[in-house]
């Protein structure tokens, strides 16, 4: 290959999309088992590559030259083949530094806890030191001369103000779980996650719920790709290219979830929105019926609401798991379960389509909204929940096309 990415598992990677958006070259993803790494580098059959987990340290022994900054860090994520000479660089450093600076968080004089013991943790420590941190400690499951344990973090460094996650915990496809319990870090102000798929890990969501500054790794990924592409091509991109590419990728990958009352128009709006954006559309109620092999009304009649809700949760969690830019119309009760909302928030911007209850027509295929009285009761029960789960409320004052356009404009402006 000419340009690409090597790593052990790459099913989660957005790098191909980013690089091919940036420049006119083909970018390949090449999964390498550990025993194949040495022969691949010895063959030198590439122009330039990026390196990801778990090879950022292992590749260094195979390089002819290593940039001074990368050598100081002790990790390489970019290799350029110049006439058969392999030279290593670390653009992760620039990417993480750009992410922290963009957030407006100052590390000066603060204690920074870095989760992980791999190559990215070494990069994060160097960034923290260079940005003026008073202390930067790496945290691992096992104590080493260079890493403390998690128990030591909670007992001796519980006043850490900044947390950086460089572990793969929470990364697709195993999106559940967090590498640390931020509830035990009493003075935490901000956290940054190198994981970018999902867009917001459980760790990021927990920090946001506490009102902290919290960022996933997508901006870092795009930034390091921009700097790597400059090394690949020998050209420099305009300063505004980074923000533009980040917003483009976020817009392309972030899902759109539509919540609201049964009959409020989520499916109609969703189809029009998906068509306007050129995205896939899914209706969770339709997917549930496909799974069950029967209409929702029949599921309720045969198995009850609890069985339906279990199917609904499975469906929502499956479709929410990866950022694909999909438009998702949710069943009216889907957001009643906080676990469903949490799963959606990892990768989606959630909209509440708020149509006046008197404008909604009851239908026989909605077991909990069969008549006007039932609709009004559901609205009283759910309105606050819809408001709380939504990133944006859209009050319906016009037809579906206008609602879809309002969501489209907001989504593009916020992405």
Architecture of the CATH domain 3-89+224-240: 3-Layer(aba) Sandwich (3.40)
pLDDT tens per residue, range 165-208? 999 999 999 999 999 999 999 999 999 999 999 999 999 999 99
* pLDDT tens for each residue of 318-347: 999 999 999 999 999 999 999 999 999 999
Q: What is the pLDDT of residue 398?
A: 85
Q: Report pLDDT for 371.
A: 85
Distance CA 224, CA 127 (A): 13
Per CATH, the architecture of 254-414 is what?
Answer: 3-Layer(aba) Sandwich (3.40)
Residue of 374 and 283 predicted with greater confidence? 283
SS3 state of residue 344: helix
Stretch(es) of the chain classified as CATH 3.40.50.720: 94-220
Model pLDDT, residue 286:
97
Give span(s): CATH 3.40.50.10860, the chain: 3-89+224-240
Q: Tell me the pLDDT band of 299, cut-offs 50, 70 and 90.
A: very high
Confidence of residue 415 (pLDDT cuts 50, 70, 90): confident
- Which residues fall within 8 angstroms of residue 127, CB to CB, at 6 or more apart? 93, 96, 97, 100
pLDDT tens figures, 64-111: 999 999 999 999 999 999 999 999 999 999 999 999 999 999 999 999
Distance of CA 60 to the CA centre of its chain: 29
Q: Which of 37, 68, 69 is nearest to 52 (CA)?
A: 37
Query: What integer pLDDT is reported at residue 13 of this predicted model?
Result: 92
pLDDT score of 161 more than 90? yes
Length of the chain in terms of residues written: 415
- pLDDT value at position 362? 81
What integer pLDDT is reported at residue 364 of this predicted model?
Answer: 73
Q: What are phi and psi of 144, to 5 degrees?
A: -135, 170
Buried residues in 288-302 as b, exposed as e (16+ CB within 10 A) = bbeebeeebbebeee
Report which of 74, 67, 6 is spatially closest to residue 231, judged by C-alpha positions: 67
Interatomic CA distance for residues 51 and 7, integer angstroms: 6
Q: What percent of the chain has pLDDT over 90?
A: 95
Does the structure show a pLDDT above 90 at 33?
Answer: yes
pLDDT at 29 (0 to 100) = 97
What pLDDT does residue 74 have?
Answer: 96
In the prediction, which pLDDT does 24 show?
A: 94
Average pLDDT estimate for 31-56: 97
Mean pLDDT of the chain: 96
324 vs 364, which has greater pLDDT?
324
pLDDT at 292 over 90: yes
Write the Ramachandran bin of 178: left for phi over 0, alpha for psi from -120 to 50, otherwise beta. beta
Phi, psi of 388 (to 5 degrees): -70, -30
User: What dotted CATH number matches 94-220?
Assistant: 3.40.50.720
Other CB atoms closer than 10 Å to residue 209's CB: what's the count? 12
**Residue 388 pLDDT:** 97
Asked if the model's pLDDT at residue 215 lies above 80, the reply is yes
Here the tokens at position 113 are 């806890």
d(Cα 95, Cα 369) in Å, to the nearest integer?
50
Looking at the chain, the domain(s) classified CATH 3.40.50.300 span 254-414
Distance CA 212, CA 214 (A): 6
- Note the pLDDT tens digit of each residue in 254-272: 999 999 999 999 999 999 9
* pLDDT value of residue 366: 77
Structure tokens at 356: 């006046």
Query: Which residue bears the tokens 């609401």?
Result: 305
How would residue 368 be classed by pLDDT, with cut points 50, 70 and 90?
confident
How many Å apart are CA 305 and CA 67, to the nearest integer? 61
Residue 254 backbone dihedrals phi, psi, to 5 degrees: -70, 130
**Reduced to 3 DSSP states, what percent helix, strand and coil does the chain have, rounded to the nearest 5?**
45, 15, 35
The predicted structure's pLDDT at residue 375: 92
Structure tokens at 169: 């915990």
Mean pLDDT of 19-24: 94
State yes or no: pLDDT of 370 exceeds 90.
no
**Residue (of 158, 160, 140) closest to 150 by Cα position:** 140
Encoding tokens for residue 254? 């972030």
Residues with a catalytic annotation lie at 56
Q: What is the pLDDT of residues 380-401, one digit of tens each?
A: 999 999 999 999 999 998 899 9
- Tell me the pairing of strands 78-82 and 48-51: antiparallel
Distance CA 388, CA 255 (A): 18
Q: Which of 194, 187, 198, 192 is nearest to 213 (CA)?
A: 192
Phi-psi region of 30 (alpha: psi -120 to 50; beta: other; left: phi over 0): beta
Whether 328 and 256 have beta carbons less than 8 Å apart is answered as yes
DSSP for 48-76 reads EEEE-TT-TTGGGGG-SEE-HHHHHHT--
- The region, left, alpha or beta by phi > 0 then psi within -120 to 50, assigned to residue 115 is beta
How far apart, in Å, are the Cα atoms of 190 and each of 148, 161, 164, 216? 20, 7, 9, 11
DSSP 404: H
pLDDT at res. 224 = 97
The torsion region of residue 366 among left (phi > 0), alpha (psi -120 to 50) and beta comes to beta
């Amino acid at each position: 290959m000419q340009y690409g990415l090597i790593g052990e598992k790459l099913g989660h990677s957005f790098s191909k999309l980013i690089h091919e958006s940036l420049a006119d070259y083909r970018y390949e993803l090449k999964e390498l088992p550990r025993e194949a790494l040495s022969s691949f580098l010895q063959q030198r059959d590439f122009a330039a590559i990026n390196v990801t987990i778990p090879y950022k340290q292992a590749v260094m022994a195979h390089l002819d030259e290593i940039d001074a900054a990368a050598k100081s860090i002790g990790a390489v994520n970019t290799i350029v083949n110049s006439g058969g000479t392999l030279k290593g660089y670390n653009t992760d450093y620039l990417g993480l530094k750009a992410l922290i600076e963009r957030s407006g968080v100052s590390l000066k004089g603060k204690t920074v806890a870095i989760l992980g013991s791999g190559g990215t943790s070494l990069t994060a420590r160097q960034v923290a030191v260079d940005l003026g941190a008073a202390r930067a400690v790496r945290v691992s499951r096992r104590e080493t001369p260079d890493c403390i344990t998690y128990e030591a973090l909670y007992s001796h460094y519980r006043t850490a103000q900044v947390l950086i996650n460089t572990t793969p915990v929470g990364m697709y496809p195993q999106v559940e779980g967090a590498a640390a319990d931020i509830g035990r870090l009493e003075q935490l102000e901000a956290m940054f996650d190198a994981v970018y798929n999902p867009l917001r890990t459980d760790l990021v969501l927990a920090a946001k719920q506490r009102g902290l500054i919290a960022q996933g790794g997508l901006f870092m990924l795009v930034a390091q790709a921009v700097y790597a592409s400059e090394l690949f091509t020998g050209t420099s991109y305009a300063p505004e290219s980074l923000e533009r590419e980040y917003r483009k990728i976020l817009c392309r990958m972030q899902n759109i979830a539509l919540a609201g009352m049964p009959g409020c128009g989520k499916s109609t709006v969703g189809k029009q929105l998906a068509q306007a954006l050129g995205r896939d559309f899914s209706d969770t109620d339709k997917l549930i019926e496909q799974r069950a092999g029967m209409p929702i009304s029949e599921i309720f009649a045969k198995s009850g609401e609890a069985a339906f809700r279990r199917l609904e949760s499975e469906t929502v969690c499956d479709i929410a798991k990866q950022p694909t830019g999909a438009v998702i119309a949710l069943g009216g009760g889907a957001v009643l379960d906080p676990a469903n909302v949490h799963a959606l928030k990892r990768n989606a911007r959630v909209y509440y389509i708020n149509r006046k209850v008197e404008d909604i027509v009851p239908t026989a295929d909605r077991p909990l909204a069969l008549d006007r009285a039932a609709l009004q009761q559901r609205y009283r029960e759910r309105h606050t929940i819809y408001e709380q789960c939504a990133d944006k409320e859209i009050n319906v004052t016009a037809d579906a096309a206008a609602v879809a356009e309002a969501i489209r404009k907001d989504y593009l402006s916020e992405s």
